[in-house]
Amino acid sequence: MSNEYTRITKDGLWDNNIVFAQILGMCPTMAVTGSATNGLGMGLATTAVMVASNALVSMVRNVVTPDVRIPVYIVLIATLVTLVDVSINAWAHDLYKVLGLYIALIVANCAVLGRAEAYAQKVGMLPAAADGLMMGLGFTFALTLIGGIREVIGSGTLFSNAHLLLGPAFAFLETTVITDYKGYLLMILPPGGFLVLGFLLAGKRILDKRLAERRVAPAAMPEPVAG
């Protein structure tokens, strides 16, 4: 069983990462990664929705028939997103002022539906929720990375406005990487998202290839490490 969770973790964070491997959820990936903070906020909100939606879909999996599963999942996801939206608005209003713009976008993230369809409807609640958590964290990692790169090249800062998202305690995250930087608009505008994503995808391929080669090499030795 623990093996299952190791796989879920590895899949979500790297091997089957929503952005870098499945190339899903491109709408928020391109739209909100103008800065690392925005990427982080969107990623965390999406993670919350994915954990809940995966758990719910797994819960109703024996009741729902294949013909109506897509509308049922969509209704569930849309409801969850709305619930998250109104609760943040009511009880974390300062956070809402930062994240409010993006939360409704989560419904349009096909990765949420994708996980319901590809995984959660086939397994029990616990692995389904774990998958939502790991996929969400992988998504958060990808968005923060893309946002960070675009922000450094585009505006010369990193994690600007982090205190609005995480509270004043995290103001130390806000750094000016390049002082007196004039800004490079292309990176902030949508093309920057495509450029950075393209380079990152290529980079991941190269890295995965290297890792695979390295994994093959020790296998030739007399005592391979069990794994």
Nearest distance from residue 181's CB to another protein, in Å?
12
Buried b (16+ CB within 10 A) or exposed e, 218-227: eeeeeeeeee
Tokens coding 151: 């922000």
With binding defined as CB under 8 A, does residue 188 bind another protein? yes
When asked if residue 72 is in the footprint of another protein (CB under 8 A), the reply is yes
Strand-pairing partners, residue 157, are: 176
- Piece of 72-80, 106-114, 116-124, 132-140 that binds another protein (CB under 8 A): 72-80
Based on the shown chain and the rule CB under 8 A, indicate whether residue 9 belongs to the binding site for another protein. no
Cβ–Cβ under 8 Å, residues 27 and 108 = yes
Residue 82 contacts another protein per CB under 8 A: yes
Q: What is the DSSP string of 57-76?
A: HHHTTTTS-GGGHHHHHHHH
Binder of another protein out of 4, 23, 93, 205 (CB under 8 A): 93
Q: Restricting to residues 149-168, which ones interact with another protein according to CB under 8 A?
A: 161, 164
- Give the three-state DSSP class for 38: helix
Which among 52, 53, 56, 32 has a CA at the least distance from the CA of 43? 32
> Judged by CB under 8 A, which stretch of 3-11, 31-39, 117-125, 211-219 contacts another protein?
31-39
Residues at the contact surface with another protein, assessed by CB under 8 A: 31-32, 34-35, 38, 60, 62-65, 67-68, 71-72, 75-76, 78-79, 82-83, 86-87, 89-91, 93, 101-102, 161, 164, 183, 185, 188-189
